Amino acid sequence: MAQAPSAKLQSIDRMLNPRSVAVVGATERPQYGGRFLRSVLASQDKLRVYPINPRYQDVLGMKCYPRLTDLPETPDLVGVIVPAEAVMPVLEDCAKIKVPSAIVISAGFSERGDTAHQQQQAKLKEFAAQSGVRVCGPNCLGVANIRTGVWASSSAPYTDLKPGPIALVSHSGATAFGPLMTRAADMGVGYSHIISTGNEADLESSDFIDYLLDDPDVKVIACFIEGFKDGRKFIAAAKKALDVGKAIVLLKVGRSETGAKAAMSHTAALTGSDAVHDAVFKQYGVLRVDDYDDLIQASNLLAYAPAPSKVGVAVVSHSGGVSSLIADHLGLNGLSLPPLTRTAEEGINKILNGFGWASNPADITGYANRPELDAIMRLLEQEPEAGAVVVATAGRASQAQQVIKLRDESSKPIIFMTTGGEETEEGLAQLRQAHIPLFDSPRRMAGAMGGFFTYHRRRKLWRQAKAAVKSSKGVVAPDFKSGPHFLTEHASKTLLAHWGVPSTREIRASNADEAVNAAKTLGYPVALKLESEHILHKTEAGVVRLGLQNANQVKQAYAEIVAYGIKFAPNSKGSPVLVQEMVNGGVEVIVGLSQDSHFGPVLLVGLGGIFVEVFKDTAMRVCPITENDAREMLEEIRGAKLLKGFRGKPPADIDALIKVMLALSHLSQDLAARRPELDINPLVVLPKGQGVKAVDARINLHE
Amino acid sequence: MAQAPSAKLQSIDRMLNPRSVAVVGATERPQYGGRFLRSVLASQDKLRVYPINPRYQDVLGMKCYPRLTDLPETPDLVGVIVPAEAVMPVLEDCAKIKVPSAIVISAGFSERGDTAHQQQQAKLKEFAAQSGVRVCGPNCLGVANIRTGVWASSSAPYTDLKPGPIALVSHSGATAFGPLMTRAADMGVGYSHIISTGNEADLESSDFIDYLLDDPDVKVIACFIEGFKDGRKFIAAAKKALDVGKAIVLLKVGRSETGAKAAMSHTAALTGSDAVHDAVFKQYGVLRVDDYDDLIQASNLLAYAPAPSKVGVAVVSHSGGVSSLIADHLGLNGLSLPPLTRTAEEGINKILNGFGWASNPADITGYANRPELDAIMRLLEQEPEAGAVVVATAGRASQAQQVIKLRDESSKPIIFMTTGGEETEEGLAQLRQAHIPLFDSPRRMAGAMGGFFTYHRRRKLWRQAKAAVKSSKGVVAPDFKSGPHFLTEHASKTLLAHWGVPSTREIRASNADEAVNAAKTLGYPVALKLESEHILHKTEAGVVRLGLQNANQVKQAYAEIVAYGIKFAPNSKGSPVLVQEMVNGGVEVIVGLSQDSHFGPVLLVGLGGIFVEVFKDTAMRVCPITENDAREMLEEIRGAKLLKGFRGKPPADIDALIKVMLALSHLSQDLAARRPELDINPLVVLPKGQGVKAVDARINLHE
């Protein structure tokens, strides 16, 4: 049952399918305004165009209006190409006549980096939200609907580009209407839309993705992203994509600090932690790529190849050198080449008659140029463990015909990797025409294939998880002080217990005698720690004593801790001392929650100590997580081997660890309003069946 | 002073520059033999061609001879295209008439995988070595000299390909005369030679590299490698390349196990450890790439760009989105974009007048299409910290002209990264013509740039190191048993002492009382270990006791160890017990030597224990190493942070560790004939100034 589209989606719909467009700043000169006008006029048969410019009576032979308010009708879309300071008055006119959508090409807003320009943009943003005039830009190149041929952009309609099932959304107009457009056209890859979002004062890439996912003819969303304005909105879009079975393929700047810095100075947006972005992409099946051609070709693969039923890949080539390089890259992308069954092996060897190799990859020498290629490919296609077939050869017309026929008769993805040059242009054109996913680089092909299999695996898991997932336990936490504050170790553990996180046994003592009694109750050895909200780093302050064996040691430790505490933080005077059992054995793990500026609560897990500090060997996911997410996180950590029973040690209680991870995810949701940040460090994971214990913990709450 | 070329190099010279070629297996039919003949005939004006086939009187209107021995002269080169079993008789004829070089196109040798075919190839190899008929192949496609236009290959002359300073050497003929040829032609990149080496029964890729490095017009050797036959020979070639200032760029299969397996089954050669290959490439400045286009474009960059004087890169583009993606990839490849000086910043901002950004990367919007591009590029080129300039824009003819002019007047590398489509064909053709290194992928460009800077850094270090390096200490080791054997811990340490490796103080004891006396001499606590060459893994056998505090403990440990030893290995009866000081503090490191089947002795270093076992956090180099190699190895290990004084611990004695690494390198050379393998595990690296101590060690010697 389709929902009624929101006003925002309706505005986007008008922007991408306008019946009437006004161009404010229309001119005959070859500037942004002139180019926008000419682009719109190219589809004059499909819409009414109104040039607006108080300086002209007519433009390109058309009546030119002085102001929006002078128009005979309310246009669906207004293109704004005026100096930055004149943008707001135009938008105010838009609001007056209830224009649903505007594209602001004009630059001179927050991309300039200074406060004055940022304020200009903030005003624009606020106005859009209040007025209902939804704005694309500023500092963008506009949008193009390739299927209808309507280009509302300062980039000229590119007639070489064919319509197709891939929607392109890009921050950078010069990237979208540059390499991503011309190369797609060269490769015969078609787009449904090209949307450049610019500074995203109002409408964000996620808003357009949201809209495009409702379009039945859009199969894949390809994005060029410099940074998300609102990470949660992107997650919502990514979830929707999984729901509807469409893929998001994304080229995002920011893998290196150099790149993040450049993007930040260019977009004037916080780029956020790239590692958290990667966690989000993994979690929600978003395929991240590295380069323009990757983006186009991976999107094309996802748009046209059916979902694979198995994870193996069968490879055939005329050359052993070519097929071994392909096997190498497929392996690097986590894909396997299952050995041939006897049926295939004998069948292919019979054909090759000694001139080539029946194996996977199959090196079939000159048979690649013969009619027998067909029979060989079919034997590979019928291999039960082959989820896809890669054919790597020149791509002459005769080969193309055989490959297209196979694809038409098969339910498996058939991929072509060309090794040929210009002489194969005819065959390659046929392959493109038939929408066979076509690559010319083993690395790029294998990368796209890795992403393709990962996406389909994620989608399957997503459908399974959706039924099971419960993002919140609905735990009502006890009363806290309002306002930001830091919970001591014991308070933190007490809070964690509400979500079922077990901690060390421990007793608070107010004097040395109480401490000795507590130690007796707990049993020696014990640890002593000062409980003060004025001391964040206890070890640094010298207020921790471990492995105390008897009453004398406890008394001495008590006195020392209190003295050190007062010395370090005079306010800690009078704080109680925590007497705590010592936990033996097990593996030390760190589990934590942080608050990412873009994506909200992020769960982190890693082995304790130097593993985290030296090796950065941690895994992250955005909350809420599923149990499967938790298991995948543990698979990602290289040190997780230590949990599985390393060097003769018993395997650790991984299920209990996963329960804690899920508990923190629930906590992050139940206490969302307080934006909790916490560390359990260490959490000791005891041998299987013996559970876990939080040995130290600290929580920070925000208001 | 040039050396007289060896007979082998002379044979290769004849093969690549023949005045006369005989084609055995000549035919008019479009088979390998027919194609070879036609290829040679295409340069008939430059050489004499003799078709040979007992079945024909004439071929293509030329006199056809029945046998090589019937020829009127000894040809420089014989092409052999006959069934596998007929190859040896042809080579025997070659020897009779003293032919210097032969190319065996015929397949059906070791690539078939079975013993019979492998023996065929072994015979061929042996014959070549003894007869002086040097053989390229079998199972290759031949060679082409692009500069002279002589193609001695079963691949037809490809007239689109221009001559140039890059020599191409490839195992796979279908790769060399396929994608690597046609794409280079498409990109306007020229080769000097194309050489396909096939099964390498006799001549290996390294032999051709050796030859090509002597060619004054060859600047870069580009290789496609499935595996080296002789790793040491490749190292010798790589060293020669560093000496003469030419680069080797290499696409090698085997990064993943899937790829290694495919290459192995295809070439029937051991592919060896890919990690050791990577170590060799790092050590000797060989640039490894991932894909066909990488190989071509990185080679082109190295052939035409002058050595950079600084490591920074200045980037300019018409688009902020493009330049931030470029900055991202440059950063990922370890390159930095130095901030602009005030001169450049003010100069560029003055030109841009608010429409763009003077920064690095510089986003100059529409100014990229104006005459001002020239002045902007020059300001960037003059930046003192910029070692190279990357211009990223469409590449229209006007832009191309400005870039070419700048390159002509600059001593810095000027790189072009095109974002344009077909409309820029004219400008891009001009850039290609002028040999401006041209890329169309930010990732590929940045990868090539990273390799370019690394190569030039390595070459500088190489020249410095050459003067200083001393690969052997010339230590004469004491007498050993001949034949393969294993040295016990104490014997190993005694041997290591000859190369100056310090070990724990320790005394051998033959009974419990001697052990107690030894402990007293050393001072408590001590360790006890059984010294038996019948027990390789002491801990496993239960014959190690650590931290013994007094005489009673020593006595008890002694009795236990002896009993456990006899139980584990009855032959150990009567073996002495080692009484050893305990070493406190310091960082545990593992240092080892192994013998790689391809490259010989390999030095390995890593942090001890789980760092090696779980994280595989180790660095390797082939011996001999330089001091700089040792330092780089320590930089590579992530855990090396622990050596630098982590968490308030004192920095470790890294210089002493490096001395041990160099000592093992010397040992590997001094004892080369015994092919030593050894582990020092752990070597304790004490705080700075206190040295290191080998706590346990074992050495294996081969005959």
When CB atoms are compared, the residue of A321, A357, A443 closest to B224 is A321
Instruction: Count the Cβ atoms, other than its own, within 10 Å of residue A425.
Output: 13
Contact partners, residue A561, CB within 8 Å, separation at least 6: A528, A529, A530, A542, A543, A544, A545, A577
How far away is chain B from the Cα of A391, in angstroms, using its nearest Cα?
15
Tens of pLDDT, residue by residue over A191-221, are 999 999 999 999 999 999 999 999 999 999 9
Is A638–B615 a contact, with Cβ atoms under 8 angstroms apart?
yes
Q: Exposed, middle or buried by CB within 10 Å (0-12, 13-18, 19+), for A109?
A: buried
Query: Which residue of chain B has the CA closest to A321?
Result: B172
Among A145, A99, A143, A104, smallest CA distance to A124 is for A104
Instruction: Grade residue A267 by pLDDT with cuts at 50, 70 and 90.
Output: low
**CB-based contact A505:A694 (threshold 8 Å):** no
**CB-based contact B663:B495 (threshold 8 Å):** no
Amino acid at A420: G
Write down the pLDDT at residue B674. Answer: 92
Alpha-carbon gap, residue A271 to B278, rounded angstroms: 34
Q: Which residues of A touch B175 (CB under 8 A)?
A: 319, 321-322, 325, 419
When CB atoms are compared, the residue of A181, A258, A614 closest to B642 is A614
Instruction: Count the Cβ atoms, other than its own, within 10 Å of residue B559.
Output: 12
User: Per residue in A504-542, is it b (16+ CB within 10 Å) or e — as a string?
Assistant: bebbbbeebebbbbbbeebeebbbbbbbbbbbeebeebb
Whether A1-139 and A505-581 share one fold: the answer is no
Distances (CA, A) of A158 to A77, A477, B365, B440: 21, 59, 20, 20
Alpha-carbon gap, residue A332 to A329, rounded angstroms: 5
Alpha-carbon gap, residue B222 to B302, rounded angstroms: 10
Tell me the helix, strand and coil percentages in chain A, rounded to 5. 45, 20, 35
Q: Which residues of A touch B646 (CB under 8 A)?
A: 610, 613-614
Is B327–A259 a contact, with Cβ atoms under 8 angstroms apart?
yes
What was the ipTM of the complex prediction? Answer: 0.94
Write a three-state SS string for B565-599: HHHHCHHHCCCCEEEEECCCCCEEEEEEEEEECCC
**CB-based contact A536:A489 (threshold 8 Å):** no
Is B263–A330 a contact, with Cβ atoms under 8 angstroms apart?
no
Among A531, A527, A546, A528, smallest CA distance to A486 is for A531
Is A258–B331 a contact, with Cβ atoms under 8 angstroms apart?
yes
When CB atoms are compared, the residue of A322, A614, A642 closest to B175 is A322
Q: Which residues pair with B617 in a beta bridge?
A: none
* Superfamily for domain range B305-464: Succinyl-CoA synthetase domains (3.40.50.261)
Q: Which tokens in the block code for residue B279?
A: 């170590």
How far away is chain A from the Cα of B90, in angstroms, using its nearest Cα?
22
Contact partners, residue B350, CB within 8 Å, separation at least 6: none
Amino acid at B291: D
Q: Which residues of A touch B322 (CB under 8 A)?
A: 172, 174-175, 178-179
Q: Which residues pair with B249 in a beta bridge?
A: B222, B287
Fold exhibited by the domain A1-139: Rossmann fold (3.40.50)
Alpha-carbon gap, residue A619 to B57, rounded angstroms: 75
Write a three-state SS string for A452-488: HHHHHHHHHHHHHHHHHCCCCCCCCCCCCCCCCEEEC
Q: Which residues pair with A503 in a beta bridge?
A: A694
Write down the pLDDT at residue A646. Answer: 78
Alpha-carbon gap, residue A259 to A252, rounded angstroms: 10
Distances (CA, A) of A406 to A383, A412, A417: 14, 10, 15
The residues spanned by each domain of chain A are: 1-139, 305-464, 505-581, 587-701
Q: Which residues of A touch B340 (CB under 8 A)?
A: none
Please confirm whether the linkage preceding A525 is cis (ω < 30° from 0): yes
Instruction: Grade residue B611 by pLDDT with cuts at 50, 70 and 90.
Output: confident
Alpha-carbon gap, residue A250 to A232, rounded angstroms: 16
Q: Which residues of B touch A108 (CB under 8 A)?
A: 354
Tens of pLDDT, residue by residue over B146-196, are 999 999 999 999 999 999 999 999 999 999 999 999 999 999 999 999 999
Q: Which residues of B touch A160 (CB under 8 A)?
A: 421-422
Q: Which residue has the tokens 């390739």?
A: A146
Q: Which tokens in the block code for residue A367?
A: 């048979």
Q: Which residues of A touch B330 (CB under 8 A)?
A: 256, 258-259
Best to test chain B binding among A162, A194, A325 (most B CBs inside 10 Å): A325
Alpha-carbon gap, residue A565 to A541, rounded angstroms: 7
Q: Which helix (H) or strand (E) holds B529?
A: strand B526-530
Q: Which residues of B touch A261 (CB under 8 A)?
A: 327
Is A320–B182 a contact, with Cβ atoms under 8 angstroms apart?
no
Q: Is the pLDDT of residue A177 over 80?
A: yes
Q: Is the pLDDT of residue B285 over 80?
A: yes
Alpha-carbon gap, residue B624 to B232, rounded angstroms: 12
How far away is chain A from the Cα of B475, in angstroms, using its nearest Cα?
39
Q: Which residue has the higher pLDDT, A634 or B474?
A: A634
When CB atoms are compared, the residue of B266, B421, B646 closest to A186 is B421
Q: Which helix (H) or strand (E) holds A62?
A: strand A62-63
Q: pLDDT averaged over chain B?
A: 93
**CB-based contact A578:A519 (threshold 8 Å):** no
Write down the pLDDT at residue A3. Answer: 41
Alpha-carbon gap, residue B619 to B630, rounded angstroms: 9
Mean per-residue pLDDT for A233-239? 97
Q: Which residues of A touch B354 (CB under 8 A)?
A: 108
Write down the pLDDT at residue B4. Answer: 46
Backbone angles phi, psi at A513, to 5 degrees: -65, -45
**CB-based contact B489:B529 (threshold 8 Å):** yes
How far away is chain A from the Cα of B21, in angstroms, using its nearest Cα?
26
Is B615–A613 a contact, with Cβ atoms under 8 angstroms apart?
no
When CB atoms are compared, the residue of A182, A266, A613 closest to B421 is A182
Residue A100, helix vs strand vs coil: coil
Query: Which residue of chain A has the CA closest to B187?
Result: A421
**CB-based contact B105:B142 (threshold 8 Å):** yes
Is A324–B613 a contact, with Cβ atoms under 8 angstroms apart?
no
Instruction: Count the Cβ atoms, other than its own, within 10 Å of residue B214.
Output: 15
For residue B162, the 8-state DSSP code is P
Q: Is the dihedral of CA B587, B588, B593, B598 positive or negative?
A: negative
Q: pLDDT averaged over chain A?
A: 93
> What angle do helix axes B320-332 and B442-468 make, rounded to 10 degrees?
30
Q: Is the pLDDT of residue A610 over 90?
A: no
When CB atoms are compared, the residue of B182, B256, B321 closest to A174 is B321
Alpha-carbon gap, residue A397 to B61, rounded angstroms: 33
**CB-based contact A209:A155 (threshold 8 Å):** no
Tens of pLDDT, residue by residue over B122-139, are 999 999 989 999 999 999
Q: Which residue has the higher pLDDT, A465 or B285?
A: B285
Query: Which residue of chain A has the CA closest to B261?
Result: A324
Query: Which residue of chain A has the CA closest to B614?
Result: A639
Write down the pLDDT at residue B2. Answer: 38
Residue A291, helix vs strand vs coil: coil
Write down the pLDDT at residue A112. Answer: 82
How far away is chain A from the Cα of B271, in angstroms, using its nearest Cα?
12
Q: Is the dihedral of CA B349, B352, B354, B359 positive or negative?
A: negative
Q: Which tokens in the block code for residue A174?
A: 């010069």
Percent of chain A with pLDDT over 70: 96
Q: Which tokens in the block code for residue A218?
A: 């859009």
Is A639–B615 a contact, with Cβ atoms under 8 angstroms apart?
yes
For residue B547, the 8-state DSSP code is E
How far away is chain B from the Cα of A343, in angstroms, using its nearest Cα?
20
When CB atoms are compared, the residue of A111, A262, A642 closest to B361 is A262
Residue B26, helix vs strand vs coil: coil
How far away is chain B from the Cα of A549, in angstroms, using its nearest Cα?
21
CATH number for region B505-581: 3.30.1490.20
Q: Which residues of B touch A324 (CB under 8 A)?
A: 226, 253, 259, 262-263, 266
Q: Which tokens in the block code for residue A140?
A: 């963008």
Is B331–A259 a contact, with Cβ atoms under 8 angstroms apart?
yes
**CB-based contact A330:A446 (threshold 8 Å):** yes
Amino acid at B589: V
Helices (H) and strands (E) in chain A, counts: 24, 30
Write a three-state SS string for B439-504: ECCHHHHHHHHHHHHHHHHHHHHHHHHHHHCCCCCCCCCCCCCCCCEEECHHHHHHHHHCCCCCEC
Write down the pLDDT at residue A357. Answer: 75
How far away is chain B from the Cα of A354, in angstroms, using its nearest Cα?
9
How far away is chain B from the Cα of A239, in angstroms, using its nearest Cα?
27
Backbone angles phi, psi at A141, to 5 degrees: -110, 5
Query: Which residue of chain A has the CA closest to B170?
Result: A321
When CB atoms are compared, the residue of A107, A328, A614 closest to B256 is A328
Bin B285: left if φ > 0, else alpha if -120 < ψ < 50, else beta: left
Q: Which residues of B touch A268 (CB under 8 A)?
A: none
Alpha-carbon gap, residue B121 to B106, rounded angstroms: 11
Is B178–A319 a contact, with Cβ atoms under 8 angstroms apart?
yes
Alpha-carbon gap, residue A119 to A113, rounded angstroms: 10
Mean per-residue pLDDT for A606-620? 84
When CB atoms are compared, the residue of B173, B359, B639 closest to A265 is B359
Tens of pLDDT, residue by residue over B419-476, are 987 778 999 999 999 999 999 999 999 999 999 999 999 999 998 877 665 666 677 7
Write a three-state SS string for B245-271: CCEEEEEECCCCHHHHHHHHHHHCCCC
Best to test chain A binding among B35, B160, B226, B256 (most A CBs inside 10 Å): B256
Query: Which residue of chain A has the CA closest to B264?
Result: A324
Contact partners, residue B174, CB within 8 Å, separation at least 6: A318, A319, A320, A321, A322, A419, B141
Is B226–A610 a contact, with Cβ atoms under 8 angstroms apart?
no
Instruction: Grade residue A66 by pLDDT with cuts at 50, 70 and 90.
Output: very high
> What angle do helix axes A205-213 and A231-244 make, rounded to 10 degrees?
20
Write down the pLDDT at residue A641. Answer: 87
When CB atoms are compared, the residue of B171, B254, B318 closest to A328 is B254
Write down the pLDDT at residue A383. Answer: 98
Q: Checking DSSP bridges between strand B247-252 and strand B220-225, what pairing results, if any?
A: parallel
Number of A/B CB contacts below 8 angstroms equals 249
Architecture of the domain made up of B587-701: 2-Layer Sandwich (3.30)
Length of chain B: 703
Alpha-carbon gap, residue B684 to B693, rounded angstroms: 5
When CB atoms are compared, the residue of A182, A258, A328 closest to B327 is A258
Among A600, A606, A591, smallest CA distance to A663 is for A591
When CB atoms are compared, the residue of B174, B293, B319 closest to A322 is B174
Bin B172: left if φ > 0, else alpha if -120 < ψ < 50, else beta: beta
When CB atoms are compared, the residue of A259, A324, A394 closest to B328 is A259
Contact partners, residue A118, CB within 8 Å, separation at least 6: A109, A110, A268
